[in-house]
Amino acid sequence: MNGDVANSLDSNTIGSLVTQFGTPLMVLDCDVVRQQYRALQDALPNVELHYALKPLPHPAVVRTLLAEGAYFDLATNGEVDLVQSVGVPSERTIQTHPIKRDSDIQHALRYGCTVFVVDNVNELEKFIPYRDQVELLLRVSFPNADVLADLSKKFGCKPEQALELITHAFDLGIRIKGLSFHVGSQTRSGDKYAIAISRCNEIMQQVTDAGLPVLSTLDIGGGFPVQYTADVLPISIFCEPIRQALNVLPETVRVIAEPGRYLVAPSVTNIASVMGQAERNGQTWYYLDDGIYGSFSGLMFDEAKYETKSVKQSNEVYSSVLAGPTCDSIDVISDNIMLPKLNNGDLIVSTMMGAYCSCTATDFNFFKKADVIVMGEETVFDSNSISA
Ligand SMILES: *Cc1c(COP(=O)(O)O)cnc(C)c1O
């Protein structure tokens, strides 16, 4: 047990949700979001946490985190619209997509978000018309082979290029307020951040030495890991090297982070039911009403592994296959899972499905995406029945 929050819905709650709403369901517990936020804030006491909406762009999550005092990391116009609709003050937001259309910049500016991220000259020059309104962060890339998703290939300038880009920005009259990086998602060790932080500290010193305006902000990105099926460090221990590296920075540097997965992954539980079954090659195949093209899309896109169990418990279990509902052969959730003999209509529950699941689900083959049911906010309601 690592002290981090484990989500558990008792079977009574599961039963009554299914009676009320049917299946498939994604049950979002805002209490878990709150606990995750507080655990990360405790582990990184002087860091402003900007929730990156990408893994679970849901209004209830935004409202819950806003009430906790969080800030928000936006990357697209849809995310801008979502935080605006929830009433997030624009000063609490930054727009961190390294590559934007002019219309994206204008959209964020109309909302009042004035901090943007760039990582190359072409992007920097897009801000010439807005130079009196904006402050930019320069995204620096640090390779990380040791993560689920290494983002350093797609985005970020090399640390050696930073001074030249910052000088160019200065010549164009564009303010660079600081540096940012993203070490990659579901990072295994806090050391990756520590190395990036000290390299950024060197760049900030170089900038000061060059007589350029002092960089006041360091954005250490997201990537904080959660416990799927493999063990990860408890968050306070994971963050120890990060805290140490941050201690060395000048006190005037404002440090922010962009956690996504960590805040939401444990907050959602999937409930699916068995639509039908067949014996094939000595195994029972159970066909669920949710699958790879739906909530389990994270198995493909995110390479995450979720804990999946049957609500019905028995000492007699058999190697079984759990498949999704579509007619496509890749739509298999697990090809070897120990399950009791199940009847059609029996329920299968999977945990840790808050990050990169619902948001990447499709309605391929006309199997509609699972409804998201919100608990732990003011009331329980079906989010699909309220208009956005
Ligand atoms: C996706 C993303 C995040 C969130 O990453 P997690 O690994 O989910 O914490 C933060 N910042 C940026 C720029 C991102 O693209």
DSSP helix/strand/coil, 123: helix
Is residue 165 in a domain? yes
- Whether 295 shows a pLDDT value over 90: the answer reads yes
The pLDDT, as a whole number, for residue 386 is 45
222 CB within 6 A, ligand 1: yes
**Domain finish residue from 259, 280, 303:** 259
Is residue 12 in a domain? no
Is residue 139 in a domain? yes
The CATH number assigned to the domain holding 275 equals: 2.40.37.10
The upper half-sphere exposure of residue 131, i.e. CA atoms within 13 Å in the direction of its Cβ, equals 14
Phi first, then psi: what are they for 363, rounded to 5°? -115, 35
- Whether 193 shows a pLDDT value over 80: the answer reads yes
What is the number of structural domains in the chain? Answer: 2
Structure tokens at 19: 């009676």
Phi first, then psi: what are they for 250, rounded to 5°? -55, 145
One domain for residues 235 and 272: no
One domain for residues 168 and 214: yes
Is residue 367 in a domain? yes
| Band of residue 5 on the pLDDT scale cut at 50, 70, 90 | very low
The CATH number assigned to the domain holding 98 equals: 3.20.20.10
One domain for residues 102 and 192: yes
One domain for residues 80 and 189: yes
One domain for residues 242 and 284: no
Active site residue 157: no
Structure tokens at 68: 């906790």
354 CB within 6 A, ligand 1: no
How would DSSP label each residue in 21-75?
H-SSEEEEEHHHHHHHHHHHHHHSTTEEEEEE-TT---HHHHHHHHHHT-EEEE-
One domain for residues 115 and 210: yes
State the pTM of this model. 0.94
Q: Indicate which residue's Cα is closest to atom 1 of ligand 1.
A: 54
One domain for residues 92 and 237: yes
Is residue 31 in a domain? no
The pLDDT, as a whole number, for residue 151 is 65
Structural domain boundaries enclosing 104: 57-259
Is residue 370 in a domain? yes
**For the residues 7-17, what does the mean pLDDT come to?**
87
Q: Residues 298-347: pLDDT tens digits?
A: 999 988 889 999 999 999 999 999 999 999 999 999 999 999 999 999 99
Assess whether the previous peptide bond of 24 is cis (omega < 30° from 0).
yes
The pLDDT, as a whole number, for residue 380 is 45
Is residue 11 in a domain? no
**For the residues 339-357, what does the mean pLDDT come to?**
97
**Domain finish residue from 233, 259, 285:** 259
One domain for residues 280 and 253: no
Task: Give 339 Cα–ligand 1 centroid separation in angstroms.
Answer: 35
CA pair distance 346, 330, nearest whole angstrom: 23
One domain for residues 83 and 213: yes
The pLDDT, as a whole number, for residue 3 is 35
Which percentage of the chain shows pLDDT scores above 70?
A: 93
Is residue 52 in a domain? no
One domain for residues 121 and 172: yes
Q: Which atom of ligand 1 is nearest to the CA of 223?
A: 7
The pLDDT, as a whole number, for residue 153 is 81
Probe residue for ligand 1, chosen from 261, 303, 357 as the CB with the greatest number of ligand atoms within 8 Å: 261
One domain for residues 239 and 269: no
Q: Residues 208-235: pLDDT tens digits?
A: 999 999 999 999 999 999 999 888 999 9
One domain for residues 192 and 312: no
- Whether 378 shows a pLDDT value over 90: the answer reads no
**Domain finish residue from 259, 276, 297:** 259
Task: Give 288 Cα–ligand 1 centroid separation in angstroms.
Answer: 30
